[in-house]
């Protein structure tokens, strides 16, 4: 199993190209199930999760082929053509779904297109209970009959989906995406209230509109969808990954470096950049990118994760690594997931001083971190350990790198190109 070996202490200098967003790419790929016409997606990141979704879609009957080269149209990611002429199989089996929680995103599109679906309950990152009750409640409002048997959700809507009004009791990105996709082929109008406003939801909605869907309210907390009988094909460029950009911004800040992030949209990262500014990091817009540098000391700042446009939960662990060497203290509160502090005992092994109190962790900055062998337990936790390793004295080995590979494209190459002493060990 691969490991990442880091010799800490080198400040990062240079440019990092930000890839397409995994969390936008996955629902966009699932949307190909909604039409028999081809969908071409550009700027897809090279990630294990993308391959997992491609395998699942192929199993359902989607024909997937590479189209164009990386670099076409100025994008680094690859382009895929997805064509679901016919849905061959409406069961998403456990063997494929267990690898990735986002597999649940095929449920809405399969139901909308064929009137039936059988989807294994998902696995995914171990960051809390992560139920799918909201996906199911919303779909039953759309007229779907749902049964749970042997770990599978068996759903059917033999007479098609019916437009409805549904208010999410809590904000859910995945459930918003599933219902949005389903509602595009429902009979009549659907009004979804208290939806997730994450940019990845907006990216999906924009692609659906290009496919002929009628959607109003993108970027607000209410989406109004006029269902269509069919959707057509389109081409779409996946939005840049704001979480990847935020992670590298924090890497530059941690190491006292100066880097340019190429590609990210500043307005999608505002809550994060504001916090970095408060912490003493300089953040400037440049042509086509964002410059992040730090000369002075880092200051402790309090952070609370919230749905967009708040501070993203997917950057909470990395922010904890940053705060671990800041002057003073930082209170980091996780309001989205109930068990997202698994990086803390590992950071503590590197010398970080962090105490968890319920949903908050109190980080008291220390003078330096010391390299150690550490174990990643989920995707973003792994990223926080890589960041800590970049600044720690001595050697850090990050184990279970497959978590990182599910969400960061060539992380060690991108960091090494900016001067980090980092390599992947194939052991
Ligand atoms: C997505 C992102 C993930 C991010 C998360 C929150 C993808 C592929 N993943 O995950 O990286 O961390 O949004 O920004 O886009 N919940 C329920 N019932 C449900 C659904 C969710 O209680 O049916 C709860 C979850 O347990 C969690 C909260 O709602 O506490 C938010 O989860 P949700 O927004 O659904 O996360 P995902 O879509 O799984």
State the SS3 of the chain.
Answer: CEEEEEECCCCCEEEEECCECHHHHHHHHHHHHHCCCCEEEEEECCCHHHHHHHHHHHHHCCEEEECCCCCHHHCCCEEEEEECCCCCCCEECHHHHCCCHHHHHHHHHHHHHHCEEEEECCCCCCCCCCCCHHHHHHHHHCCCEEEEECCEEEEECCCCCECCEEECCCCCHHHHHHHHHHHHCCECEEEEECCCCCHHHHHHHHHHHHCCCEEECCCCCEEEEECCCCCCCEEEECCECHHHHHHHHHHHHHHCCEEEEECCCHHHHHHHHHHHHHCCCEEEEECCEEEEECCCCCECCCEEECCCCCECHHHHHHHHHHHCCCECEEEEECCCCCCCCCHHHHHHHCCCEEEEECCEEEEECCCCCECCEEECCCHHHHHHHHHHHHHCECEEEEECCHHHHCCCCCHHHHHHCCCCEEEEEEC
Residue 238: pLDDT band by 50, 70, 90 thresholds?
Answer: very high
Q: Is-cis flag, bond preceding 195, omega within 30?
A: no
Ligand 1 centroid distance, CA of 313 (Å): 10
Cβ atoms of 338 and 332 within 8 Å: the answer is no
Flag the least confident range among 30-44, 240-254, 309-323, 402-416.
402-416
Answer whether residue 125 shows pLDDT above 80: no
Q: What is the mean pLDDT of residues 293-319?
A: 97
The residue whose C-alpha atom lies closest to atom 24 belonging to ligand 1 is: 130
- Residue 15 a catalytic site member: no
12: left (phi over 0), alpha (psi -120 to 50) or beta: beta
Q: Is the CB of 47 under 6 A from ligand 1?
A: no
Residue 123 scores a pLDDT above 80: no
Q: Is the CB of 337 under 6 A from ligand 1?
A: yes
Q: Is the pTM of this model over 0.85?
A: yes
Ligand 1 pocket residue status of 276, Cβ below 6 Å: no
Looking at the predicted structure, is the pLDDT value of residue 122 above 80?
no
127 pLDDT higher than 50: no
Confidence class of residue 318 from pLDDT cuts 50, 70 and 90?
Answer: very high
Closest Cα to atom 31 of ligand 1:
172
Number of residues that make up the chain: 427
Q: pLDDT at position 126, please?
A: 52
- Give me the mean pLDDT over the 28-40 stretch: 98
Rounded to the nearest integer, the mean pLDDT of the chain is: 94
**Residue 336 beta carbon below 6 angstroms from any ligand 1 atom:** yes
Bigger pLDDT: 88 vs 74: 88
CA of 171 to the centre of ligand 1 (A): 8
Residue range 51-68: average pLDDT? 94
CA 400 to chain centre: 19
Distance 426 CA to ligand 1 centre (A): 32
pLDDT at residue 42, rounded to an integer = 97
pLDDT value of position 28? 98
Mean pLDDT of 144-154: 92
- Average pLDDT (277-282) is 98
Residue whose CA is closest, atom 30 of ligand 1?
337
The model's confidence at residue 351, banded by pLDDT at 50, 70 and 90, is very high
> Do the beta carbons of residue 60 and residue 29 sit within 8 Å?
no
Phi, psi of 59, rounded to the nearest 5 degrees: -60, -35
| Predicted pLDDT at 376 | 79
Location of structure tokens 């941690």: 254
Ligand 1 centroid to Cα of residue 111, in Å, is 21
- Note the pLDDT of residue 73: 53
């Amino acid at each position: 199993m691969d490991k990442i070996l880091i010799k800490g202490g080198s400040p990062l200098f240079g440019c990092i190209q930000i890839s397409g967003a995994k969390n936008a790419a996955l629902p966009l790929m699932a949307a190909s199930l909604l039409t028999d016409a081809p969908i071409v997606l550009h700027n897809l990141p090279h990630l294990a999760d993308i391959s997992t979704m491609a395998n699942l879609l192929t199993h359902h009957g989607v024909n997937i082929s590479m189209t164009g080269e990386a670099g076409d149209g100025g994008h680094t990611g690859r382009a895929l053509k997805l064509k679901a002429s016919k849905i061959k199989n409406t069961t998403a089996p456990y063997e494929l779904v267990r690898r990735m929680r986002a597999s649940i995103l095929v449920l809405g599109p399969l139901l909308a297109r064929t009137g039936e679906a059988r989807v294994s309950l998902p696995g995914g990152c171990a960051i809390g209970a992560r139920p799918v009750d909201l996906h199911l409640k919303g779909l039953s409002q759309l007229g779907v009959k749902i049964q749970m048997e042997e770990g599978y959700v068996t759903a059917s809507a033999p007479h098609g989906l019916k437009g409805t009004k549904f208010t999410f009791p809590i904000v859910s990105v995945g459930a918003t995406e599933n219902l949005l996709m389903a509602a595009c082929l429902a009979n009549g109008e659907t009004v979804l209230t208290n939806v997730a406003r994450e940019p990845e939801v907006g990216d999906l909605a924009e692609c659906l509109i290009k496919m002929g869907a009628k959607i109003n309210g993108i970027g607000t907390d209410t989406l109004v969808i006029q269902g269509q009988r069919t959707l057509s094909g389109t081409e779409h460029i996946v939005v840049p990954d704001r979480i990847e950009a935020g992670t590298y911004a924090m890497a530059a800040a941690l190491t006292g470096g100066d880097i340019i992030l190429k590609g990210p949209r500043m307005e999608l990262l505002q809550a994060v950049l504001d916090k970095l500014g408060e912490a003493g990091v300089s953040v400037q817009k440049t042509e086509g990118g964002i410059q992040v540098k730090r000369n002075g000391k880092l200051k402790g700042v309090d952070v609370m994760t919230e749905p967009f446009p708040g501070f993203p939960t997917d950057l909470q662990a990395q922010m904890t690594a940053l705060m671990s060497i800041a002057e003073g203290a930082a209170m980091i509160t996780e309001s989205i997931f109930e068990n997202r502090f698994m990086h803390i005992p590992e950071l503590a092994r590197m010398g970080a001083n962090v105490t968890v109190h319920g949903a908050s962790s109190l980080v008291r900055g220390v003078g330096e971190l010391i390299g150690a062998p550490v174990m990643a337990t989920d995707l973003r936790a792994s990223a926080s350990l890589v960041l800590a390793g970049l600044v720690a004295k001595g050697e850090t080995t990050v184990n279970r790198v497959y978590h990182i590979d599910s969400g960061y494209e060539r992380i060690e190459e991108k960091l090494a190109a900016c001067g980090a002493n980092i390599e992947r060990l194939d052991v």
